[in-house]
Structure 1
Amino acid sequence: GLMQIAHIPGAVTAPAGALEGFHANPRGRGGTFEERKARNLAYDAQNVQHPFTGLHFTEKGIDLLEQYIHEVREVIGYEIPLAIDHVGHISLQDGIRLSRRIEKYVPAWLEDVIPWQYTEQYRQLQQATSVPICTGEDIYLKEGFEPLLRSGGLSVIHPDLLTSGGILETKKIGDMAQDHGVAMAIHMAESPIAAMAAAHVATATENFMALEYHSADVDWWDDIVTGLPKPLVKDGFITVPGKPGLGIDDVVDEVISQHLQPGVTGIWQSTEHWDDEHSWDRTWS
């Protein structure tokens, strides 16, 4: 996607200064003025919605992205599905150009080309290419997925249980997608607890395709909990245990405490300061 080639001269055309945020290397919290500036630039760049960035792939840029996919295909062959993650802050038109270029590599899906709220643009994108189009990791509740499914703009949905509304809601989302002839992959870049919740949804959903997994190289990931097989993911599969709940016996505080992010001072801290807070967060009136 964009982040892979944004630093290469001639690969991306952009308004003056628009790429600075993508080149920034933010670090932690606080820090020097320059570190805060880099963090702010990166945040601003990632939060401008794609149609408004003015970023476009050049032919050189698309050549580079195609070459990368070509090299991956040479290694893994065509028996293994190859899915393409978040592409980056480019336009609908660039999404069409890229997707048409890579059709010959038979991608399993092309994900998050544009923000999920732009239903009509997703319809145009999917109609313009034979590559299955995918989005959904940021969508909340099945009502959020419904316009995209009705539009015909997706071939794969990609909910995350932690943001979609939980186990039962994601099951409902998958069933609704099945009614529209759309497959469900599940986004999951979290702990073994979330992985097991997602695995239970997957086993109960007929149109399930794949469960995302980011921790193959994190050697302590399996140790966060007890009661599950180790490794939890073996040969590309998770075995759902025949035990109550998610099948987890306990959470190992010591392992979590050893791997806290910088600036985090502890786990399971008191939330009593929220007891007297009130909010008026309805989205309707």
Structure 2
Amino acid sequence: MKSILNQIIASNKEVERAEKLAVQAEINNPATKDSRRNFLRKSAVGGIALGSFLSMSIEDTVAQATSKVNRASKPSELKITDIRYCVLQNVGRTPIIRIDTNQGIYGLGEVRDGADERYALMLKSRLLGENPCNVEMLFKTIKQFGMHGRQAGGVCGIEMALWDLCGKAYNVPCWQLLGGRYRDKVRLYADTPESDNLDEFKEKIKFRTDTQGYTWLKMDISIGMLKNKPGGVVNNKVWGGGFSQWSGDFHSYANTKHPFTAIQITPQGLDQMAKVVEDVRGIVGYEIPISSDHYGHFDLNNAIRLGKALDKYRLAWLEDMVPWEYTDQWKQISEALETPTLTGEDIYLKEGFKALIEGRAVDIIHPDLASSGGLLETKRIGDYAEDHGIAMAMHFAGSPVSFMANVHCAAATQNFLALEHHSVDVPWWESIVKTTDGRKLIDKGYANVPLEAPGLGIELVDEELKKHLSPKDKSYFAPTDQWNDKRSHDRLWS
């Protein structure tokens, strides 16, 4: 029996050698079409002849048969084993999270700038042992723990990391998991540079547009510029005249909503604010859109007065003139002005945008993906706005991790306009990550969409990231076992 088997093996080897020679001759023949040549090459590499099976052990046969199989992940058997973090010192503080799995692959996400990593860590006990590829199911499990503003940061950061993991597991970019892409590059908008000297400002604008390549800019137009100019605003001194929007106690200007400050802008103040816009528009020209933001805390009537004073400069939008939840006030502002209105960076979930969209209270929605619910929820928000004839710009201030999550979402959403880049002049910002397909992260004012790189398409550069950790927390993806135990019943219904 053995001699017969050996004869069959020897005969098959001869046949196989003859077949290989014939295939190679056809590949080398100039008359062979490229499509046929490619087919033959793939067959030669991937095929296994009968002789191979007969002449090799079962172990060797299996090894050859599976030599091209990607063993990095078996998606159906993926399990979440840990959630860890580090805190980047950028835009205040920006926590980056990492979801680890039983198969060695991991996903990167980001808690929104200025928020607390504990918003994400408290969700760990709800996710351990779960398959990260069930993104929507896990999102529905944890979304009850998010809220508007920075309080959504944990849920959104987890969602980003889950999509990164899912893309790596299935070896596809995140935009593909969202339904495909509309664009290969994503337009960015950047802040105008700051300078009190007009000639210096002109040079900085030229650098921003000609050298850095940005085709969309944004500027602040704040009553703060009137603080040292008598007669600019009414009810100045009671608020201390500083008009800081970012810090203070419960009774401070920063924490008093717009309708309740009793601040009014005088005609002189309006002229001075308009003159600043006129100077910037005169330097930039009208080819480049200029958006605007950070006006200060004053009521609906003053917002309309300011908007009318600026209408002639054809700004791209007026952003967050009153708090986002005042839908009726937004509608009044939008109907009174020619300049497009925009809000949304602090809104959590599609439900929060519905009244603004359905009532056409604003002309453009402006979600921050790290507050709005992550990649899929933000795409749903964009799609819902598109159905109502409303465009979507995207707010962003953070690390390249959240930036790339935004890029994938923007690529997959048709009514997208432009994505904010808040760290244009931070020299080390791009160096803390590397793209997994070798492309540039940003090129001439546009973000490159990863066409084939799986997941978000980036990896952290550990040695660079460690240079820019928060001085108050130098830990680097250390174990977080103290967050492993679930101690509550979370269901919202009986």
Shorter-chain TM-score range: 0.7 to 0.9
- 1:139 aligned onto 2:350: no
CA contact (8 A) 2:227 2:241 kept: no
5 Å-filtered alignment, 1:20-59, equals 22=243, 40=248, 44-59=252-267
1:36 corresponding residue in structure 2: none
Which of 258, 262, 272 is equivalent to 2:467?
258
- 1:120 aligned onto 2:328: yes
2:443 corresponding residue in structure 1: 234
Distance 1:163 1:94, change over 3 A: same
Which of 406, 422, 436 is equivalent to 1:198?
406
CA contact (8 A) 1:134 1:154 kept: yes
Unpaired segments ≥5 residues, structure 2: 1-221
Which of 225, 231, 246 is equivalent to 1:4?
225
1:245 corresponding residue in structure 2: 455
Shift of 1:130: 0.8
1:100 corresponding residue in structure 2: 308
Tell which deviates more after alignment, 210-219 or 231-240: 231-240
Shift of 1:263: 2.5
5 Å-filtered alignment, 1:156-195, equals 156-195=364-403
Distance 1:277 1:51, change over 3 A: farther
Distance 1:217 1:280, change over 3 A: farther
Distance 1:136 1:282, change over 3 A: farther
Q: Distance in 2 between matches of 1:156 and 1:218?
A: 28
Matched residue pairs, number? 271
CA contact (8 A) 2:292 2:318 kept: yes
- 1:154 aligned onto 2:369: no
CA contact (8 A) 1:186 1:210 kept: yes
Distance 1:2 1:272, change over 3 A: farther
Tell which deviates more after alignment, 52-61 or 274-283: 274-283
The SS at the match of 1:54 is coil
TM-score, with normalisation over the residues of structure 2?
Answer: 0.51
1:9-41 deviations in Å (ceiling 9; x for gaps): 3222226522356369x9xxxxxxxxxxxx535
Q: Distance in 2 between matches of 1:91 and 1:112?
A: 12
Distance 1:77 1:272, change over 3 A: same
Shift of 1:147: 0.5
1:221 corresponding residue in structure 2: 429
The SS at the match of 1:17 is helix
Q: Distance in 1 between matches of 2:289 and 2:231?
A: 31
Unpaired segments ≥5 residues, structure 1: 27-38
Q: Distance in 1 between matches of 2:389 and 2:272?
A: 33
1:73 corresponding residue in structure 2: 281
The SS at the match of 1:22 is coil
The SS at the match of 1:206 is coil
Shift of 1:146: 0.4
Q: CA RMSD in A?
A: 2.6
CA contact (8 A) 1:22 1:42 kept: no
1:101-148 deviations in Å (ceiling 9; x for gaps): 111110110000000010100011101111100000000001000011
Relative contact order (alpha carbons < 8 A, sep ≥ 6): 1 or 2 greater?
Answer: 2
Distance 1:136 1:266, change over 3 A: same
Q: Which amino acid is the alignment partner of residue 252 of structure 1?
A: V
Distance 1:257 1:43, change over 3 A: farther
The SS at the match of 1:195 is helix
- 1:19 aligned onto 2:240: yes
CA contact (8 A) 1:175 1:205 kept: yes
